[in-house]
Structure 1
Amino acid sequence: MKALSPGLIALVGIGSAVTARDVPPPAVVAHKTVHVQNVTHNDGKPHRQITHIRHRTIVKTPHGTMIRTTASTNTTPPK
C-alpha cells in the first residue's frame, strides 16, 4: 500500500498529523428550562409546582453542532 502524504493525512484526519493548533475551542451553551404550574394543595393555599425540567447543552465545534437534551418530568400529586 502506498504511503499517504502528510498533507492528505491532515486533510482526512488520520494519524498523529492532526493537531489542535489551528482549531478554536468548542463553544458550549447550556440552557435550563423549568416549567411550573399553580396548584392548590389540600391546605387550600396555592403553590407553584414544577411539572418538568429540560436541560439542553449545545456544543459548537468547527465540525458541526451537537445538541444534547435531557428532560425529567415531575408527576408527584399535590399534597
Structure 2
Amino acid sequence: MAESMTERVARAISNAAYDDKAKAAIGAMREPTEEMLLASWHQTASVSSERRMAVELGTPRSAHLAKMKQRWQAMIDKALEDG
C-alpha cells in the first residue's frame, strides 16, 4: 500500500513515522495563493488549450478562482482524511 501524503510529509520533515507536524503541514497548504491556483490550472495537461481558453473567456475570474480553490481544498481535505 502506498504511503499517504501525511506519511510522506512526516517522513520528509522529521524522518520519523506519522506525526502531527505532517497534518499541520498539509493543513497549511489548504489555503493556496492565487498564483498556486493559476499555476495548477495552466499546468494541467488533461485540459486542452482550446477548452481552457473557453472557460477563461466565459467565466468571471472570481468564479473561476473560487472553483479551483474548492477543488484544491477537496484534495487537501482528502489527504488529511486518509492520513
Higher relative contact order (CA 8 A, sep 6+): 2
Q: TM-score, normalised by structure 1?
A: 0.21
Q: TM-score, normalised by structure 2?
A: 0.21
Report which of the two structures shows the higher radius of gyration computed on alpha carbons: 1
Flag the structure with higher helix content. Answer: 2
Flag the structure with higher strand content. Answer: 1
